[in-house]
Structure 1
Amino acid sequence: MGATLRRKMTILAFVSALLLGLLAGCTGGGSKSGESGELVIWWADWGESYNKIFDDAVYKFFAPKVPDLKVTISHMKVDEKLLPAVASGKVPDLTYLNSGFAVPYALNGALQPLDDFMKTNHFDSAKDFSADVNASYTWDGKLYGIGLAADSPAIFYNKAAFREAGLDPEKPPRTLDDLSRANQKLLRKNASGGIERIGLNPLNIYVSSYAVGVAMGSEFYDAASKKAIVNNPKLVQAYEWIRNEVKAIGIDELDKMASAKASGNNDPFYTGKTAMVVDGFWRLLDAKQFAPNLDYGVVPLPKSFAGVSWGIGIPKGAKNKKAAELFLQWLLTDKVAGTFMAEGTNPFNFKLSLDTWFKAVESMSKGTPNEKYMSVWKEVFENSTINTYKSPAPAAYDQWLQQALDAVVHDKKKPQEALDEANKQIQLEIDKALSAAKSK
């Protein structure tokens, strides 16, 4: 079971109560639509139980509004299916979108622009949506998808470990320099030199080259020239920071921790092997289950960012575009949007939904250990920027930046050399994507 699915299953009970309880309040008012035919929706496969939550919300609270419309939901690996479906002409009316694939889909003519829908329904892209998120679904000035949510991480830290290391647990690290100093003090070795505890694992999935690059002020793509710019001085500096943090611990030790893939009760943050971890909102509920007595705090990253966004779009060739737009109208109402995002991800793209989402989560957290962290998460959610390269070849960034980082932390290449090579390879993929789009 993957990390994303484990996280979603951890908070399943929380989601069920929130979705089914709050969405019940979204059914009243308004006349039923006379829309008929079939609305086919392709959605991500997040596991049977979680899929059921999405399905129940749609069938119980949207379908009754359109009694003559047959709604069919299929869960699958959409990223593998959509382009072949467009080529064959057998597409759904609505599709789940991963932000990393939205622009390539648009370049390949697989998605319909949503600008007319936005205008007709009086959605203001600047006021109601995050421009940063929408950039993940925009190409050549047109919007091809609506980002709904993304994972927004923060730093969880063990207060007891901080006290033992002589750190003030009420003054957690807020900058990269703070993190470096905390890591030095939290690192604990035994008499033979073996690692007993580290501060923050610099190779944590959320302490990526992107996250540290953002904190350093790096850009990744120049839209005007359509050029990759990952070999810029600020990203080089980010790689140097990660390399130095890795060296302080030892790459062999970190590789060993990565291969262990410990989770649940054996999660290194719960066992004390790591004093800090970067993770999302769901960690609050996870900690309550696996480490109910752990004395920990939560603080935003040096610069908040979000993981890959997910959203929704209308494929080219959709047979029931009118019904698809009706579904989007329903989904993007304030209360529905806020509630749909309550599975622990960040609803920051639809700004109107944030207060609804936050109030719902806050009420669910009253009387629990989570209550005191709500202000932290509101700060994270309100100040996040999306993890996107805003380029026509986002997958190439993931591949080559990771290869560059691996080479740097294993002392095979220096940061500038590794990023020069990554930039070259990424640019080849960008040029290939743009050339393919022109030929269509």
Structure 2
Amino acid sequence: MSATITNKGAQATASLPAEQAENLYKKVFWRFVPFIMLCYVVAYLDRVNVGFAKLQMSQDLGFSETIFGLGAGIFFLGYFLFELPSNLIMNRVGAKLWIARIMITWGILSACFAWVQTPTQFYVLRFLLGLAEAGFYPGIILYLTYWFPSHRRAKVVATFMAAIPVSGIFGNPLSGWIMQSFHGSSGWHGWQWMFMIEAIPAILVGIAVFFVMDNSIRKAKWLTEAEKDFLEAEIRADQKDKQSPKSTAAVFKDIRIWHMCLIYFCIVMGQYGLTFWLPTLVKASGVVGDLKIGLISAIPFVCAVFAMILIGRRSDRMRERRWHLIVPALLGAVGFVVSAIAADTTVIAIAFLSLAAMGVLTCSPLFWSLPTAFLSGTGAAAGIAVINSVGNLAGFVSPFLVGWLKDTTHSNQTGMFMLAGMLVLGSIAILRTPPKMVNR
């Protein structure tokens, strides 16, 4: 059996035996997917380590829950404003230069948090960090569409996004250890050392981008000409029947894009509600000590890694997207509700926070199988950026609302119930998505 793709426009046929085709995709996968996963581990750690810094930072600087939640969320205002321009620039100048620029810039800004003293400084740096990082995530999602057809993409994106729980598995204990071990060294607080030390990998990995990533299949020196022809033909065939917006302006007029924005907004509400507030929720369950909180906080992320990869593979194998999203979203909602009700019982709280993590973090990679099933070309560059930027406004709303609700009600429960409700709303929106549009 062979895999054959015919490109009528070029009057050429690219063919490989099925086993060789599978081996080729494995070769592409191992060439750069683990590396971009490493990039995202570093990115996500620098984005959400502020949630761990809060354990010391709020007391040292006198920040209330509302101030902290607003500062955590302001990141996404900068992210929102620059994401679409950033993705269009990457589509023009290439991923190698643009992803490197993003990582080096955010590494420098992340280190600057060590000198924060006032809420205004905190807000400004969070906003600038959002500007710097804008375009990284949607840029990578776009980059993957250059290499993998739709029916192979859920597993790849799930592996890439496993970086989120992996950053929690290693990042939370690391952050706790740095804050506990370095506190008082050279007159600095533990949280200051944490920001400085954890910024260094972003700069180093950003430099490595120049040597690992290729802007396109055609420019990959590690592929043979026959392999390049086959991969390019597969991508052309995948894009052939897509009814994608043809311009940036058309993206804003496409109702499908706004439907995707609603779904992703609901998913991101749950995702950042979990990742920003997890250390606080673990502490509230009775766990004492920064390092111990970090170690316990890693448990939900360990569970999420296995769920993301297994469900992503199953979704690709069955070529079904909607129910593979709806079920995890509803399980995430159950996890939030029960963990809030049993907040004072450590074992039950951690068990259901793990269920919440498995649900919301599995939804994020699988979601991108929906819009990339009908987006291609310029429509993909603009559409992915618009969906991600609008959806990630939830990254501003979620931490702020959870913090404000906690200050107002003096309880974590209301915030967790709100996050559960958003996941249920997202599930309804997914159910209303036409199966033929997304099950590719």
Please confirm whether the aligned pair reaches a TM-score higher than 0.5, indicating the same fold.
no
Of structures 1 and 2, the larger Rg is shown by 1
If the length of structure 2 is used for normalisation, what is the TM-score? Answer: 0.21
If the length of structure 1 is used for normalisation, what is the TM-score? Answer: 0.21
Structure with the largest fraction of helix: 2
